[in-house]
């Protein structure tokens, strides 16, 4: 086993808006933020409210100033609302690069800089804040080879596959509707998505609504745990992590979702391990 361990840390796993409190304390209430950490620079995925704690931890363990890369899946509130509270932005000498797809109606730069418009936020970043619109679907950031795939979600949203030597490839697909009624099972998009995931060991996927809840929520851009299991099985992933938890599901309801998803997975993909993402936990990504 290599000494240079890379891991994935979950700082925020909740969809839509933060829901802190006693009934959601076990799974966590912060909105999406995940980091890839190891001996090199960290890579941060999404800037939900989880990025606040991520920023503090990063400053604590890094001899700064340095450069931090943040990749956004899209610019809906829950994925960017933590950015004004990302401490490295208020440290002289640091560089923070925000990468992401161009939103539908304005440039990514416009959307990001609007977070500090004086009528909604009083402070001004002193770090070098750079905003980079992703133009290619295969690129390298912070030592990772990253490929993107267009998600089924209102607005422009990308899912990412990340790999580097010695690490089992990992995919982060959130805010994605896998089984739209108008999307036939063998569609080009679906076949392309399965191809995109080939060789991925760890799949983190949006599982916000159950199949029953989705009956009235088609077009919202989210998936059920069972649909994510079907995808992970088809792409032959080794482990599936449920993500972007519904704010309406407290810890007890989440326990039920996890139990029923494991039961479903045992029936169609006995080799697939299924776990929920839990705020504050770390997942080792060594290639074994």
Nearest distance from C-beta of residue 74 to Zn ion, angstroms = 8
Each residue 98-137 as x (binds Zn ion by CB under 5 A) or -, in order, gives: ----------------------------------------
Residue in 37, 69, 175, 250 binding Zn ion, rule: CB under 5 A: 175
Q: Say how many CA atoms lie within 13 Å of 67 toward its Cβ.
A: 10
Instruction: Kindly give the pairing relationship between strand 95-100 and strand 43-45.
Output: unpaired
4: exposed, middle or buried (Cβ count in 10 Å: 0-12, 13-18, 19+) = exposed
**Count of beta carbons in the 10 Å neighbourhood of residue 122:** 8
Smaller CB distance to Zn ion: residue 78 or 87? 78
Smaller CB distance to Zn ion: residue 163 or 175? 175
Each residue 60-79 as x (binds Zn ion by CB under 5 A) or -, in order, gives: ------------------x-
Range 76-95, binding Zn ion (CB under 5 A):
78
Q: Which residues does 215 contact at the CB level (< 8 Å), separation at least 6?
A: none
Smaller CB distance to Zn ion: residue 29 or 41? 29
How far is C-alpha 196 from the geometric centre of its chain's CA atoms? 16
CA distance linking residue 247 with residue 25, whole number of Å: 12
Beta partners for 172? Answer: 160, 204
Check the CA dihedral 59-63-66-71 and report its sign.
negative
Nearest distance from C-beta of residue 50 to Zn ion, angstroms = 12
Q: Does 46 bind Zn ion (CB under 5 A)?
A: no
Residue in 6, 8, 15, 230 binding Zn ion, rule: CB under 5 A: 15
Nearest distance from C-beta of residue 14 to Zn ion, angstroms = 9
Applying CB under 5 A, which residues contact Zn ion? 15, 78, 175
């Amino acid at each position: 086993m290599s000494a240079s361990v890379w891991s994935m840390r979950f700082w925020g796993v909740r969809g839509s808006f933060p829901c802190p409190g006693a009934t959601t304390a076990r799974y966590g209430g912060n909105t999406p933020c995940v980091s890839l950490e190891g001996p090199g620079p960290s890579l941060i995925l999404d800037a939900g409210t989880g990025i606040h704690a991520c920023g503090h931890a990063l400053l604590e363990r890094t001899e700064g100033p340095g450069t931090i890369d943040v990749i956004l899946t899209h610019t809906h509130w829950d994925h960017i609302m933590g950015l004004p509270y990302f401490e490295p932005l208020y440290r002289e000498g640091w560089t923070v690069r925000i990468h992401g797809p161009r939103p539908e109606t304005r440039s990514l730069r416009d959307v990001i800089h609007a977070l500090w418009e004086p009528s909604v936020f009083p402070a001004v970043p002193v770090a070098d804040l750079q905003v980079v619109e992703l133009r290619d679907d295969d690129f390298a950031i912070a030592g990772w080879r990253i490929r993107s795939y267009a998600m089924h979600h209102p607005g422009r949203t990308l899912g990412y596959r990340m790999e580097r030597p010695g690490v089992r490839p990992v995919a982060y697909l959130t805010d994605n509707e896998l089984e739209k009624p108008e999307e036939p099972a063998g569609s080009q998009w679906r076949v392309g998505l399965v191809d995109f995931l080939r060789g991925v060991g760890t799949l983190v996927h949006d599982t916000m609504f159950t199949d029953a809840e989705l009956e009235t929520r088609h077009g919202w851009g989210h998936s059920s745990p069972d649909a994510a299991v079907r995808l992970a099985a088809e792409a032959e992933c080794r482990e599936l992590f449920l993500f972007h938890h519904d704010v309406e599901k407290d810890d007890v309801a989440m326990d039920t979702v996890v139990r029923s998803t494991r039961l479903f997975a045992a029936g169609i993909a006995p080799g697939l391990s299924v776990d929920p993402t839990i705020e504050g936990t770390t997942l080792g990504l060594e290639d074994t």
